[in-house]
Amino acid sequence: MEAERSRAGNIIEWKMGITCIEGLVRGPQGEERVRFLIDSGVTYSLLPEAVWKKIGLVPKREHTFVLADGRTINRKVSECYIVLPQGEGHTPVILGEEDDEALLGVVTLEILGLVFNPFKRTLEPMRMLLI
């Protein structure tokens, strides 16, 4: 697969239509660069095991998650600080296992005031309501 950088910063568009973004995650023991797959169908963002262990995250709670094929899995959840070109903030994250890929979920996007535009494959400011 060949990647191309878009004009929207560090967004990477894969020719097969998957969109990734580079970011930085911080925990109590340091920080790590991560390439996230943007997945607006995922509730919480997910960090691979090697990443969350390196930055010193520890489980705070556990949730049951439903996979695309309908199966359920239990995963531990923690919190970290995330920095993207479009913003930064504190977010819950699923503590992934060895072969898991980093995912950027909708809760993190909402915390940062962002929305994924699937037509342009870009992150854009969210329309914020105060009503």
Domain locations along the chain: 20-125
What's the pLDDT score for residue 6? Answer: 47
pTM to 2 decimals?
Answer: 0.84
Cβ partners under 8 Å of residue 81, min gap 6: 25, 26, 27, 88, 89, 90, 91
Q: How many CB atoms lie within 10 A of CB 83?
A: 16
Q: What angle do CA 60, 104, 12 make, to 5 degrees?
A: 150
Q: What is the pLDDT of residues 71-129, one digit of tens each?
A: 999 999 999 999 999 999 999 999 999 899 999 999 999 999 999 998 888 899 999 88
- For 20-125, CATH gives 2.40.70.10
Token look-up 């439903």 returns 66
User: Pairing relation of β-strands 87-95 and 45-47?
Assistant: parallel
Average pLDDT, rounded, for the chain: 89
What's the pLDDT score for residue 50? Answer: 97
